[in-house]
Amino acid sequence: MTSSEIRERFLRFFEKRGHAVVPSASLVPENDPSALFTTAGMQPLVPYLMGEPHPSGKRLVNVQKCVRTVDIEEIGDNTHATFFEMMGNWSLGDYFKEDAIKWSYEFLTSKEEGLGLDPARLYVTVFEGDENAPRDDESANIWKKIFSDAGTSGERIYFLPAKSNWWSPGDNGPCGPDSEMFYDVTGKLTAGMTKEEYLAADERQDVVEIWNDVFMEYEKKDGYVIGRLAQQNVDTGSGLERVTMVVQGKDNIFDTDLLAPLMKTMEVRLPYYGSQTSIVSSERERRIIADHMRTAVMMIADGVIPSNTDRGYILRRLIRRMVVKAGGKLTPENVAALVAAVAGIYSGVYDKVGDNIENIAKEINREIEKFNNTLPRGMKELSKIPAGGMVSGAQASMFFTTYGLPFEMITELAKERNISVDEIGFREEMKKHQALSRAGAVEKFKGGLADTSEKTVMLHTCTHLMLAGLRKYLGDHIHQAGSNITVERTRFDFTHPEKVPRETLDKVEAYVNEAIGKGCAVSIEQMPKADAQARDVEGSFWEKYPDMVNVYVVKAPEGVVYSQELCGGPHVGNTSAIKGTFKIVKEEASSAGVRRIKAVLE
């Protein structure tokens, strides 16, 4: 059975059971700035899972394109991929656990309508319960009856913790317990494994997850489960790559028809380990190149281009990682051949790829050319560090800014050479680099401001107050790590290792608004740098400032100091000039050890 036949069987199976077929959304989420990519089939459907009526009804089915890089270190093993397709069916307040589980089992095992897999090689996991929700005995009992009716012997149901069997899209939204289905790809496991034996088989990838039924009964807000949803939903997901691997009798996804044509093209274009003209040094590296090429092609087809920020950075990282793994042999001719191979795999499925082969190849080649101009020098510098040594923060910053090596790639290459990397030092050096870059562009972005309009200046003063509030409620380890202020909002990065609870953000908001309401004077005080440090004036990169510094002080009429910070201005003369209420609208991760806040004046 081909992957195209599996897709079609899946859609027809659930369409026959009252599900409307909906098309795949783009890899670039629509109207969702909180996510770089579509990472799950349910992501475009969140409003409907929360209760909004879907125009196609309460039962939906589709095959959704997804990208995840959270498991990038696992790429090259038998089952992980950065781009993948998720087959999913949904119940929006309609059927629940019994029908969802029954149909999952039926599609997997039915020879007439489904995949015809052997029930004796199927194992399932269910949620063991915790402080958020009780043990999912209901799902376990449904499975017991299914296996009993099928005459399948031996223990096959295992209770696992939330880490394995609780699904959530993040800190906010619908969530709940899930039941996952695994298939014995070896055909050699014996029925009745203990829980420990099953977990060991999972670790060896002797059993592979091929289906996941998520039962969305609960709602999460700011990282906490706050209660049950108004409607019970079902979100099922089945990774096409892994299912195809099982159906086609392979032990890895790279031998399936979803990747094998690309791998065969690579055998010609990039000879692999063991051949007489070896370029790629190992089978794992060949798989990494194939995976990253497919993902890059699909990203660019959906409008992503390489850059130093957000989703463009992810694409750049993948392309540059390919270049390193391919030993610099990704020539324009090789890229064109690999892009064409990907387009051929998805012909008739995602024709946007085939329609844009030349542009996709051109974008990849442009990025490779940029990287090839600096890579040899970067690798030469890295090779000078002896085994067992360390890449200092300054060296890592140089590799990133001068030679274009993403930090994750620096750590990966260093690990291969038994070299450690000073990550904390790297982050500090990058802060300095960002500060100097902002200083060099002072005419355009004075103090991180896009302009000096009235609203922007108001937000600048609010940002100082917000930093003071963050330090008051979170601690003195909080420092600025970057800012960008426009007429619409302030975006502020700060050093902190974990998510800030909403109740703390509310206190910070109140702190800022209290200072605004009190009509605090904002003044500049010139003083020796040593005196400013002794007064606990807030500032980053003290070594870059002259001996005499400007300190902006925000002081209430009764003498309370709300903020004192090094700055180049401009600010309002008095906080009473700030119009509106300060509101923190978003708090999220920016990078390792750095959080980001977006705030507005309403």
Q: Write out pLDDT tens, residues 370-429.
A: 888 888 888 888 889 998 889 998 888 888 888 888 888 888 888 888 999 998 888 888
As a whole number of angstroms, the distance between CA 187 and CA 203 comes to 16
37-41, 117-121, 424-428, range with greatest mean pLDDT? 117-121
Q: How far is CA 287 from CA 88, 197, 411, 490, in A?
A: 26, 29, 20, 42
Instruction: Please report which helix (H) or strand (E) contains residue 371, including its range.
Output: helix 357-372
Q: Encoding tokens for residue 510?
A: 């109140």
pLDDT at 230: 82
As a whole number of angstroms, the distance between CA 430 and CA 442 comes to 18
Q: Evaluate if residue 167 carries a pLDDT over 60.
A: yes
Instruction: Please report which helix (H) or strand (E) contains residue 3, including its range.
Output: helix 3-15
Q: Are 555 and 525 in contact (CB under 8 A)?
A: no
As a whole number of angstroms, the distance between CA 227 and CA 293 comes to 43
Q: Are 591 and 427 in contact (CB under 8 A)?
A: yes
Q: Evaluate if residue 343 carries a pLDDT over 60.
A: yes
Q: Evaluate if residue 136 carries a pLDDT over 90.
A: yes
Given pLDDT bands bounded at 50, 70 and 90, which one contains residue 179?
Answer: very high
Q: Encoding tokens for residue 484?
A: 């960008």
pLDDT at 173: 79
Given pLDDT bands bounded at 50, 70 and 90, which one contains residue 532?
Answer: confident
Helix axes 502-517 and 454-474, enclosed angle (nearest 10) = 130
Task: Read off the DSSP letter of residue 189.
Answer: P
The dihedrals phi and psi of 140, each to the nearest 5 degrees, come to -60, -40
- Name which of 28-42, 290-304, 437-451 the model is least confident about: 437-451
The dihedrals phi and psi of 127, each to the nearest 5 degrees, come to -75, 130
Given pLDDT bands bounded at 50, 70 and 90, which one contains residue 318?
Answer: very high
The dihedrals phi and psi of 426, each to the nearest 5 degrees, come to -60, -45
Closest CA to 432 of 475, 393, 484: 393
Mean of pLDDT values over 157-185: 90
Handedness of CA 355, 357, 360, 363 (dihedral sign): negative
Query: Which SS3 state, helix, strand or coil, does residue 274 take?
Result: coil
**In 155-253, which ranges are continuous DSSP H helix?**
162-165, 195-203, 240-247
Q: Evaluate if residue 220 carries a pLDDT over 80.
A: yes
As a whole number of angstroms, the distance between CA 332 and CA 450 comes to 39
Q: How far is CA 498 from CA 172, 224, 495, in A?
A: 16, 15, 9
What percentage of the chain exceeds 90 in pLDDT? Answer: 54
Q: Which residues of 316-348 are buried (b: 16+ CB within 10 A; e: fewer)?
A: bbbbbbbbbbbeeebeeebbbbbbbbbbebbee
As a whole number of angstroms, the distance between CA 432 and CA 534 comes to 22
Q: Are 180 and 125 in contact (CB under 8 A)?
A: yes
pLDDT at 291: 97
pLDDT at 443: 33
Given pLDDT bands bounded at 50, 70 and 90, which one contains residue 439?
Answer: very low
pLDDT at 499: 92
pTM of the model: 0.68
DSSP 286-349: HHHHHHHHHHHHHHHHTT----SSHHHHHHHHHHHHHHHHTTT---HHHHHHHHHHHHHHTTTT
As a whole number of angstroms, the distance between CA 513 and CA 580 comes to 9
- Name which of 250-259, 532-541, 580-589 the model is least confident about: 532-541
Q: Evaluate if residue 440 carries a pLDDT over 50.
A: no
Tell me, rounded to whole angstroms, the distance of Cα 233 from its chain centroid.
24
E strand residue ranges, 496-537: 521-528
DSSP 128-178: ---SSS---HHHHHHHHHHHHHHT--S--EEEE-HHHHEE-SSSSEEEEEE
Which residues are within 8 A (CB) of 569 and not within 5 positions of it... i.e. 6 or more apart? 446, 447, 524, 550, 552
Q: How does pLDDT run across 221-274, given as a tens digit for each residue?
A: 888 889 888 889 999 999 999 999 999 999 899 999 999 999 999 888 876 544
Q: Identify which has the larger pLDDT, 240 or 69.
A: 240
Handedness of CA 217, 223, 227, 230 (dihedral sign): negative
pLDDT at 536: 81
Mean of pLDDT values over 147-157: 91
Q: Evaluate if residue 279 carries a pLDDT over 80.
A: no
Residues in the chain: 602
Q: Evaluate if residue 349 carries a pLDDT over 80.
A: yes
Handedness of CA 557, 563, 565, 571 (dihedral sign): negative
Q: Going by DSSP bridges, is the β-strand pair 490-495/594-601 parallel, antiparallel, or unpaired? A: antiparallel
As a whole number of angstroms, the distance between CA 140 and CA 126 comes to 7
Mean of pLDDT values over 15-32: 87
pLDDT at 490: 92
Q: How far is CA 294 from CA 27, 129, 187, 474, in A?
A: 13, 39, 30, 43
As a whole number of angstroms, the distance between CA 511 and CA 343 comes to 55
Q: Are 207 and 189 in contact (CB under 8 A)?
A: yes
- Name which of 30-44, 50-64, 202-216, 506-520 the model is least confident about: 30-44
As a whole number of angstroms, the distance between CA 338 and CA 259 comes to 11
Residue type, 602: E
Q: What is the mean pLDDT of the chain?
A: 88
pLDDT at 168: 83
